[in-house]
Amino acid sequence: MAMLEIEGLNAWYGASHVLHGVSLIVEPGEIVALVGRNGAGKTSTIRAVMGLMPKATGSVRFAGTELLPLPAHARFGLGLAYVPEERRIVPGLTVRENLQLGLVASDGTIDERQAIDEIARSFPRLKERLDQQGATMSGGEQQMLAIARAMIARPRMILLDEPSEGIMPILVEEMGVLFRRLRDEGTTLLLVEQNVEWALKLADRAVIIDQGEVVHRSSAAALLADKAIQERYCAV
């Protein structure tokens, strides 16, 4: 069974029809890169999966459960996690308190102290700052906190929107190592990225979306080698 199966997905912002029959599959334990130009529909796709679009039709199944009739909070409760482009670190809360927010969607069986200890081991930069206000950290550290907050409830799948944007190269490489480790441990990832080369080096498969439609599917390695298709659909 696919971890995520999107079929004939249409979505709108008001009268603006932004997704046109998008279909894609993400299998358990793989990284899929969703790439394309700015405004192509990448973010709208994952927002529709998470129930954050004003209107969406079609089918979105997560581990066999149809998501579109469900409210957004119920989707988180199924084991989906989402790291938005804007990070949404809560001002006034410490790193520890921001991490605790990530446990709200859990089933209550996760020991909070143990979970924070585990996350701190995965994110040494955060371990040193657990009692610091999250919003006072650098952009890269805030991105790490947003990813850690998504991970702490041990989701089956994480949707990531432009995680490398505005981040120092050394932190981008650290994220790449983390994402590979998560995949190897069985977490499924759908990665929306403008940094196409980095995403394709990480991913198992790639999907290109253009003007709200899927126009290409292949292995990530095949797309990485195909500069003509990258230039046609992904060049800024």
CATH number, domain of 168, equals 3.40.50.300
More confident residue, 91 or 69: 69
Residue 107 has pLDDT above 70, yes or no: no
Residue 47 has pLDDT above 80, yes or no: yes
- Quote the DSSP letter at residue 94: B
- Per the domain annotation, does 87 fall within a domain? no
Domain end position, chosen among 115, 133, 155: 155
Per-residue confidence (pLDDT) for residue 26, from 0 to 100: 98
Is the domain of 135 the same as that of 178?
Answer: no
Per-residue confidence (pLDDT) for residue 225, from 0 to 100: 97
Q: 211 is written with which tokens?
A: 């003007």
Is the domain of 163 the same as that of 151?
Answer: no
Is the domain of 225 the same as that of 185?
Answer: yes
Is the domain of 147 the same as that of 164?
Answer: no
pLDDT digits (tens, 9 = 90+) for 138-164: 888 899 999 999 999 889 999 999 999
Q: Do 198 and 26 meet the contact criterion of CB atoms below 8 Å apart? A: no
- Quote the DSSP letter at residue 137: S
- Cα separation, 66 vs 70, in Å, equals 8
Is the domain of 97 the same as that of 1?
Answer: no
Residue 57 has pLDDT above 80, yes or no: yes
Q: Do 84 and 147 meet the contact criterion of CB atoms below 8 Å apart? A: no
State the average pLDDT over residues 37-62. Answer: 96
Per-residue confidence (pLDDT) for residue 130, from 0 to 100: 92
Per-residue confidence (pLDDT) for residue 105, from 0 to 100: 66
- Cα separation, 47 vs 141, in Å, equals 24
Edge-first strand order for the sheet with 188-192 is 80-83, 157-161, 188-192, 31-35, 205-210, 213-219
Sequence letter at residue 153: A
Which of these, 52, 130, 59, 73, lies nearest to 96 by C-alpha position?
A: 130
Domain count, the chain: 2
Is the domain of 75 the same as that of 170?
Answer: yes
pTM of the model: 0.94
- Cα separation, 86 vs 143, in Å, equals 9
Q: Do 130 and 141 meet the contact criterion of CB atoms below 8 Å apart? A: no
Sequence letter at residue 31: I
Domain end position, chosen among 118, 139, 155: 155
- Cα separation, 37 vs 51, in Å, equals 23
Which of these, 190, 167, 192, 159, lies nearest to 40 by C-alpha position?
A: 192
State the average pLDDT over residues 74-83. Answer: 91
Pairing of strands 65-66, 80-83: unpaired
Residue numbers of the domain that contains 99: 93-155
Is the domain of 147 the same as that of 183?
Answer: no
pLDDT mean across residues, the chain = 93
Percentage of the chain beyond pLDDT 70 is 98
Is the domain of 151 the same as that of 164?
Answer: no
pLDDT digits (tens, 9 = 90+) for 174-222: 899 999 999 999 999 999 999 999 999 999 999 999 999 999 999 999 9
